[in-house]
Structure 1
Amino acid sequence: MEEQNVILDLAGSARFAPYLREAHGDIDRARELYLWAADLAGALFSTIAFVEVGLRNAMDRKLRAWNDQQGIDYGEDWALRKGAAPLLYDLVTHKSLAVAQNFAREQSRLRPKTHPRRLAAVTHDDVVSHFMFGTWVYLIKPRVWNQPQQCQQLWHECLSDAFPHADPSDSGRERLGDQLDRVRKLRNRVAHHENLLSVDIRRRLRDMLGILALIDPKLPDLAMQSNRVRSLVRADPRRSW
């Protein structure tokens, strides 16, 4: 009974309810399922990190080169103030740029006095590291209010080169955009500690490894070294109920 109270106090009744429903009211099984799901979320987040970092760097390399070619008013540092050419600025949005720039400035201010970059001027890399995952997704998959033509143009002029093993056509962009958006939704669920009970983990793992393979076929093997997602899926306690 004490262990049951601990898990309920930790998760809260609303958060624990889906696990209890899945376990048909058996609180011991619900507790087992909750602990398994927490372990799975940790393993998934490490995989998502490979995708996010790989995506960010692959896309930024091509965006820097593209932005530098958009006229004398623009250079490689597109994430800095007034640095992005109009097409890129519209897709990233003023809000995303401003939020990332503000976070980067605040981080510089809050560094310890002994830090070599305390109060240092914010760099392009500082800002890029603070973009949300969705910022990168929406450069390929249009936001609701974006015209698809903008994503199509940036894809053909620039971003298809960030995925040299993808279909460079617009259909290829759409397929990649759908994969990225599914990973974005999974990332949000994991980050907000939402339950993963109805998520098809195997398919989401295929999405993540597929995205990495479009950047570099060697990346999936790197991401899966010591990765526990597959073994945890096999260890789903519901399989033995």
Structure 2
Amino acid sequence: MYDTLEPHLSIARLASYVKAAEGNRQDAIRLYQWNTELSGAVYQALHVVEVVLRNAMDTRLRRWNAEQINAQTGEHRDGDWLLDPAPLLRRLVREKELAAGRGRAERAIRGHGRPVSHADVLAQLSFGTWRFLLPDRDPGRKRLWNDALEGAFPHRKANPRDIVKAVDGVYKLRNRVAHLEPLLDLKNVRHQYENMRWVLRGIDPVVDEWFVSRQRVTAELRRHPRKM
């Protein structure tokens, strides 16, 4: 089977699996097949985490944006920070990314006979948007955390730095899955699974319990063909 699949999957792609299987090419194919199953389970878990995280942060950002004064009109801004962002959000998210999100949203609803909504644009933003709104040395991000985003994690039991570290780890795992890279570092996958749970618990422990009852990551990890 290895000889049949190698030309289609490529030597370079299979090299990591051959190495992990200590040169056993049939075990390498089994590892590759298992990796696709684990990747699917991780992506399913990431789906929940990303949606819950973005909605928690979006709720706080909408409230914060509505409290900001439009310098030109002297009136409060709209709560829709994606269509009418305050200057700080326009800088942190970057107008180019917001415009790209609106463009993708417009294409997604083309033919539906309605204008683009906040929810349409929200669905088009990347995980990186949320990762890089969290606090760092940038005074604007610190301000946004203190004024708004801290409230997205009402059940957190750690400092902001730990939240950033957890979300960053999940973000990097998501990128590996999105680019079809091997997930052979089982210690890291287990660690990021715990980070997913940690983030969800900070938002709502009940959501975390539901997540655990539905996820397939731990089951796939137990099915590792070489028990590494």
Identity %: 36
The answer to whether the 8 A contact 2:20-2:28 is kept is yes
CA–CA distance in structure 2, aligned partners of residues 70 and 129 of structure 1:
24
Partner of 1:74: 77
Q: Is 2:67–2:76's contact at 8 Å kept on the other side of the alignment? A: no
Give CA deviations for 1:100-124 in whole Å, capped at 9, x if unaligned: 0110111122x5xxxxxx1421111
- Is the counterpart of residue 219 in structure 1 residue 222 in structure 2? no
| Count of aligned pairs | 222
- d(CA) in 2 for partners of 1:191, 1:225: 24
Aligned-partner SS, 2:100 = helix
The one of 53, 57, 60 equivalent to 2:58 is 60
Counterpart in 1 of 2:149? 159
- Of 180, 194, 214, the residue aligned with 2:167 is 180
Structure-1 separation of matches of 2:214 and 2:196: 16
1:42-121 equivalences under 5 Å are 42-71=40-69, 72=75, 74-80=77-83, 83-109=84-110, 111=111, 118-121=112-115
**Contact kept in structure 1, 2:135 and 2:142, CA below 8 Å:** no
For residues 119-198 of structure 1, the aligned pairs below 5 Å read: 119-142=113-136, 147-167=137-157, 172-198=159-185
**Distance in structure 2 (CA, Å) of the matches to 1:197 and 1:166:** 30
CA distance in 1, matches of 2:78, 2:213: 38
Q: CA deviation at 1:150?
A: 1.2
TM-score with structure 1 length normalisation?
A: 0.87
Instruction: Please say if residues 87 and 150 of structure 1, whose CA atoms lie closer than 8 Å, have aligned partners that are also in contact.
Output: yes
CA RMSD for the aligned pairs? 1.6
- Using the size of structure 2 for normalisation, the TM-score is 0.92
Distance in 2, matches of 1:18 and 1:197, equals 8
Quote the Cα distance in structure 1 between the aligned partners of 2:67 and 2:8. Answer: 53
Cα displacement (A) at 1:87 = 1.3
Structure 1, unmatched stretches of 5+, are 112-117
User: Aligned partners of 2:219, 2:118: CA distance in 1, in Å?
Assistant: 39
CA contact (8 A) 1:47 1:224 kept: no
- The alpha carbon displacement at 1:165 in A equals 1.0
